Amino acid sequence: MGTRFLPATKATAKEMMPVVDKPLIQYAVEEALAAGCDRLIFISGRGKRAIADHFDVAFELEKELERRGKEQLLDEVRNIVPQGVSTAFLRQPYPLGLGHAVLMARDVVGDQPFAVLLADDLILARRPVLTQMVEQYNRYHAAILAIQEVPPEETNKYGIIRSKAWEDRVHQVSGIVEKPAPDHAPSTLGVVGRYILPARIFDYLEGLPSGSGGEIQLTDGIAALLNERQVLGYEFEGRRFDCGDKFGYLQATIEFGLRHHAVGKQLAEYLHQLATGGICSYVADEPKPIPFPKAKTKTRAA
């Protein structure tokens, strides 16, 4: 529900928050496309209609860009979803958890292996992370979870695996728990929002009781899948930003901004100026925003 970003997310989906000039969800879509996915399934809740609009044809906008001769923008707007790629939009009626959301895609996915991408985990990588994971999948034909070392005091924010190091960057998973307290965590290897899973997971998600936080957890489905399938943890190459969190989002904005063809150089100069001018410090006593003036109440003259 994007509560950590209220009021920004009051009327719009957190996945539509822009990092520089693209909404988070578009970064996830581009990563999926780069990895060879040709069917995109969006599972969202009420109040997230903007996501479907973003990936639809914007007739009036396109006509206007055409009229103004803005060819490059027109191209960008038109090719967000390239030809030959299909989209499906599903709505989860109640926020019952990630496992429940994934289960909603069962009929559309069929019996193929599929990838899950959580758009608020934005990853800066030379080779897109899902592409790296598909390579691992092609090698091992196992379920693949993106993992990274997390600070020991933050295990309660992640699915945490129990595993044995196997090959370079690859771990054999023998257990997984959702958001364990630091003193109960089996390791400090946390799952990041990228998964490649076999369709068999749906059988386990079906009828799963609610778990951590009262939600139906994908992690619990994976824990059940472990009884019969090989699950691998893959330490991806790249840097992940938790864009569901204000600080992570700001970091991502700076890092992606620095790499942006149009504003990168200017932003780098600006940050340099801030840092060397000694003004790159916490500004606690900035002028406060001006409150909306209260309606004046008339005082009657005596």
Binding site for ligand G1P (CB under 6 A): 98, 118, 121, 158-159, 178, 190-193, 217-219
Q: Specify the residue, 137 or 241, whose C-beta has the smaller distance to ligand G1P.
A: 241
Burial class (CB in 10 A: 0-12, 13-18, 19+), 185: buried
Q: How far is the CB of 194 from ligand G1P (least distance, A)?
A: 9
Say if residues 4 and 244 touch (Cβ distance below 8 Å): yes
Q: Specify the residue, 31 or 121, whose C-beta has the smaller distance to ligand G1P.
A: 121
User: How far apart are the C-alpha atoms of 48 and 250, rounded to whole Å?
Assistant: 23
Q: What size, in residues, is the chain?
A: 302
User: How far apart are the C-alpha atoms of 81 and 238, rounded to whole Å?
Assistant: 24
Q: How far is the CB of 120 from ligand G1P (least distance, A)?
A: 7
User: How far apart are the C-alpha atoms of 259 and 266, rounded to whole Å?
Assistant: 11
**What residue is closest to ligand G1P based on CB?**
159
DSSP secondary structure of 207-221: TPPP-GGGS--HHHH
Q: Specify the residue, 54 or 179, whose C-beta has the smaller distance to ligand G1P.
A: 179
Q: How far is the CB of 115 from ligand G1P (least distance, A)?
A: 14
- Residue 54: CA atoms inside 13 Å, Cβ hemisphere, count? 19
Q: How far is the CB of 252 from ligand G1P (least distance, A)?
A: 14
Q: Specify the residue, 80 or 114, whose C-beta has the smaller distance to ligand G1P.
A: 114
Q: How far is the CB of 218 from ligand G1P (least distance, A)?
A: 6
- Residue 14: CA atoms inside 13 Å, Cβ hemisphere, count? 19
Q: How far is the CB of 193 from ligand G1P (least distance, A)?
A: 4
Q: Specify the residue, 80 or 123, whose C-beta has the smaller distance to ligand G1P.
A: 123
Q: State yes or no: cis peptide before 186, omega within 30 of 0.
A: no
Q: Specify the residue, 29 or 119, whose C-beta has the smaller distance to ligand G1P.
A: 119
Q: How far is the CB of 190 from ligand G1P (least distance, A)?
A: 5
Among residues 70, 109, 223, 69, the alpha carbon closest in space to that of 161 is found at 223
Extract the runs of DSSP E, i.e. beta strands, from 75-215.
Answer: 86-91, 114-117, 121-124, 143-149, 159-167, 170-178, 189-197
Bridge-based pairing state of the strands 121-124 and 231-235: unpaired
Among residues 198, 208, 197, 12, the alpha carbon closest in space to that of 97 is found at 208
Q: Specify the residue, 47 or 95, whose C-beta has the smaller distance to ligand G1P.
A: 95
Q: How far is the CB of 222 from ligand G1P (least distance, A)?
A: 9
Say if residues 122 and 240 touch (Cβ distance below 8 Å): yes
Q: Specify the residue, 65 or 192, whose C-beta has the smaller distance to ligand G1P.
A: 192
**180 — phi, psi (to 5°)?**
-75, 150
